[in-house]
Amino acid sequence: MSTLLGQRGPSLKAYPAPVRNEHFRFNDVALQEYPYYLWDAIEQQTKQVHSLSGCPNYTCVSHTWGRWRKSSSAIIPGVEWPVPENTLYDVVLLPQWLSRLGDLYGTRYVWFDLFCIPQVSEEERLCAKREVAGFEDDDQTSLDQSVTQERLARLAAASQSMTWFDRGQIEISRQSAIFRNSERCIAWLNHCEDFTGVQYALSWLGLKYLESTTRRGGPNESCIDWETLCRELSRKRILSNHPVEFLEPCQHLSTLIPVGWFTSLWTLQEAVLCPDILICSRNWDTLSDNSGTPITLRTLMVILWAMSTLCRPQKPINFPFHDFNDYFRAVQEQVAMDQHLHEQGDIAVFEPFPSGVTQLLSLVPLTRLNEVLTTMLPMDILTNANMRTYTGNRAPAIMSAIGATDWFLEYESSGQHMVLSMFPLPFIQEAAKKIDGSFFEGEVKVSRILAIWHSVSTHPPQDHAVPRGSMLPFAEDTIHADSFDFAVHKVLLVDHPTVCQWEIHHDGTVSISSAGIFASSQQRGFSGGGATMEVSNWLSWVDVDDMDSDDRKHLTTADWPAQIRLLAKTGCVYAVALWSELGGHTGILLQRVRAASSDGAEILVKIGNYRAGSGMPAGQAVNWLVL
C-alpha cells in the first residue's frame, strides 16, 4: 500500500471501535466480581485469586472444544481437576501454549476455561450425590474397616466432585464479569496455522476500496498511482484465490461453513462480552493488517459488511467513506441503477470476486456478527443464537450476554424439559422480563406458522403434535429468526403495561389475560383514534387462502382496519401493542386459528408485526392462548 499512497505514517496501536455503545443491561455491581481461578503461565498452575494480592491483570482466551470432546480426561500438573480431552488438540500441551501466550503478550495470568472452571458434568454430579446419599443411609457399624476406608475414599472423591461442580456453576454465572474485566480477550483459532488466506483477501479488498472510492479527475486523483493500483489488483487477485482459514474446506461456494469458533454458542457470548476481541492462530499470531495493526473481530465484521456493498458499483461513489449514512445511501442508489442498466444489457454490474474474497465476505450472512457486535441489543443476541451450534441446555452459553442469570444457580436441571427443546422455562421467563416487550416482536418463520395452522386443523390445541412457539424468538430447528428493528433508540422504549403479565409456558405457548388491542378485524377504527391512520405491517404470508406462499407482505394504508378485515376473512385478527417510543408504538398481529378451547381460551397464532404513529391503547381483559 505504501507504493500507492507514498510514505506510510506511524502505525496505529489499534483500530478505533466502529461503535461505542456499551451493553446497557450489564449490572455494574456484578461487574465488580472477578474470577475465582486464574492460570499462572509462569509457575504453570491454577491459582485461587483470593490467594494473590488483589486480582491481577489477566487475558481471557475464547475457544471451542465441546463438540469435539472425548470420553477421556487427562491429569494436567498444576490443575486440581481432570481436564477433558478433545480431538482438536492435545490438552497436555496447553501449559506450553499458554506459556508462549504469556511471553508474547507480557501477561502472566490467563483465564482459560479448562483450567479455570472445574470440569464436572451434571451426570458426574448426580453420581457423586448418589454416592454421598448411599453412604449416609448405610449402617457404618456393620462394615468392616477395609470396606469403610474404601467407602470413605469414595465419599471424599464424591464430595470433591460436588464442590467442584458448584464452583463451576458459579463461574459460569459470572462470565460477564470475567470477560469484561480482563485486560484483553483472544479468540484462539487453534486449527489455524496462520491467516494467509484471510490477509490476502483483506489486502485485495483494501485495494478495491481505493479503486471504488477514488474518482479519476477528482481532487484525490494525484494521491493514487493508477498504474500501480491496477497492477497490484491484478497480482493480488491471483493470491486472493487462496482458501480462507475462517471457513471449512469445501468444493463449492454454496456449501460454505464457518469453522467451529464462528458457529459455537459459547463463543457468541464471549464475542458479545468482548467485541474487540483479538483473533489468534494456533501459535498466537494475531490477525493484523499490512502495517502490523491488529484487526479485532468487531472491526473485521464491520469492514466485511461495508466491503460487501462498497465494491459492487462500477462507478466510484462521490461521498467520503466517513460520511457513513450518505455514502451507503449513494452506494445503494448506484447498485439499483447499475442493476437496471445490466437488465437492459448496457453494463455488466458485478465483477466476480476472487474465491478467497467471496469466502471471507460470506462470514457476514453466515454469522451476522456485524449486526450483533454493533447493536449489542439482547434480542439481536438471542436471535443470533439460533444460528449457533450447541446440544443440551443452551441457556448457560448465552445468558451472560443478555443479562439473564438470576435463575441459574437455583435451577435444578435434572428431569426438566426445555422450552421448544432449547431453553429452560425459568431462563425464558427472566429473559422476557429483562429484554422488555421486544422479546415478542421477532419475525415468525412461515414454515412454523404453516405447521401450526395445519396441525390445529386436525388436532386439538392441547395435543402435543401441534407445534408451538409463534411468540418466541427461537425454534427447535435452530433456524434464524429475525429481530425487527423498528425503534431508533430501544433504550427509550416503554412497554405496554399488560405485557409483563403475559405468561410463557413449558410447551412454548403464551397465555394473555390482558392486552392493549389497537385494532381488530371486528372493529371499524382504531382504539382511541379515528378510522384512518398511517400504519405499516409485516405479515408472514399473504392470507389464509394462500398459506403455501412464502411471500411476506408489507402494507401501508390509510384504512388499515379494512385491510386486516380482508386478511381475517371469516376469522379474526388482532393488532396488539407491545411498546411505544418517540410518539409511535410497535405491536404484533395475532390471528384466531380455532374457537375457544374447553377452558374458554381463544386460540391464536402470531402472524406478523406492525408499526403505528400513535400512542398505545388502554389494556383490556382477554382470555387468549397463543400457540
Which one is predicted more confidently, 314 or 293? 293
CA–CA gap between residue 627 and residue 510 (Å, rounded): 7
- How many C-alpha atoms does 479 have within 13 Å on its Cβ side? 11
The reported pLDDT for the residue numbered 484 is 41
User: pLDDT class for 90, splitting at 50, 70, 90?
Assistant: very high
Backbone angles phi, psi at 602, to 5 degrees: -80, 130
- How many C-alpha atoms does 105 have within 13 Å on its Cβ side? 27
Q: Where are the alpha helices (DSSP H) in 214-264?
A: 226-239
The reported pLDDT for the residue numbered 50 is 93
**Encoded amino acid at 419, one letter:** V
**Strand, coil or helix: 131:** helix
Would you say residue 310 has pLDDT above 80? Answer: no
Q: Which of 244, 343, 360, 241 lies closest to 308 in space, CA to CA?
A: 360
Asked if 369 and 363 count as a contact pair (C-beta separation under 8 A), the reply is yes
| Pair type for strands 418-419 and 423-424 | antiparallel
Phi-psi region of 577 (alpha: psi -120 to 50; beta: other; left: phi over 0): beta
The reported pLDDT for the residue numbered 174 is 93
What's 366's DSSP letter? H
CA–CA gap between residue 431 and residue 406 (Å, rounded): 10
488-524 pLDDT tens trace: 445 578 999 999 999 999 989 999 999 999 988 877 6
pLDDT, averaged across the chain: 79
Q: Percent of the chain, pLDDT > 70? A: 68
Q: What angle separates helix 297-310 from helix 196-213, to the nearest 10 degrees?
A: 50
142-199 pLDDT tens trace: 555 555 677 777 777 778 888 888 899 999 999 999 999 999 999 999 999 999 999 9
- Domain layout of the chain by residue ranges: 196-260+293-371, 436-626
**Encoded amino acid at 240, one letter:** S
The continuous run of DSSP H or E covering 100 comes out as: helix 94-105
The reported pLDDT for the residue numbered 597 is 66
List the grid coordinates of 233. 489488483
333-388 pLDDT tens trace: 665 665 555 555 544 444 578 889 989 998 998 899 988 898 888 888 888 898 88
User: pLDDT class for 136, splitting at 50, 70, 90?
Assistant: low
List the grid coordinates of 538. 409485516
List the grid coordinates of 124. 458426574
Q: Which of 122, 129, 114 lies closest to 165 in space, CA to CA?
A: 122
| Pair type for strands 184-188 and 58-62 | parallel
Asked if 281 and 180 count as a contact pair (C-beta separation under 8 A), the reply is no
Asked if 605 and 470 count as a contact pair (C-beta separation under 8 A), the reply is yes
Residue 565 CA: distances (Å) to CA of 166, 525, 591, 610: 56, 11, 11, 15
CA–CA gap between residue 162 and residue 183 (Å, rounded): 31
Sign of CA dihedral 322, 324, 327, 332: positive
What's 160's DSSP letter? H
Q: Buried b vs exposed e over 530-561: b needs ≥16 C-beta within 10 Å? A: eeebebebbbbbeebeeeeeeeeeeeeeeebb
- Mean pLDDT of the region 321-332: 53
- Mean pLDDT of the region 52-69: 94
Would you say residue 546 has pLDDT above 60? Answer: no
- Mean pLDDT of the region 64-72: 93
Of the listed ranges 195-204, 353-362, 530-539, 559-568, the least confidently predicted one is 530-539
The reported pLDDT for the residue numbered 550 is 41
Q: Which of 502, 550, 561 lies closest to 526 in space, CA to CA?
A: 561
- Mean pLDDT of the region 285-294: 92
CA–CA gap between residue 599 and residue 506 (Å, rounded): 18
Asked if 213 and 316 count as a contact pair (C-beta separation under 8 A), the reply is yes
The reported pLDDT for the residue numbered 337 is 62
CA 308 vs. chain centroid, Å, equals 21
Q: Which of 614, 621, 568 lies closest to 590 in space, CA to CA?
A: 568
User: pLDDT class for 253, splitting at 50, 70, 90?
Assistant: low
Asked if 378 and 402 count as a contact pair (C-beta separation under 8 A), the reply is yes
**C-alpha Rg value of the chain to the nearest Å:** 28
| Pair type for strands 83-86 and 109-112 | unpaired
Q: What is the pTM assigned to this prediction?
A: 0.82
425-466 pLDDT tens trace: 999 999 999 888 889 987 766 666 666 766 766 666 666 666
CA–CA gap between residue 184 and residue 100 (Å, rounded): 16
Q: Percent of the chain, pLDDT > 90? A: 39
Environment class of residue 483 by beta-carbon count within 10 Å: exposed (0-12), middle (13-18) or buried (19+)?
buried
Would you say residue 112 has pLDDT above 60? Answer: yes
- Which range has highest mean pLDDT (6-10, 99-103, 127-131, 438-442)? 99-103
CA–CA gap between residue 221 and residue 484 (Å, rounded): 42
Q: What pairs with residue 109 in β-bridges?
A: 40, 58
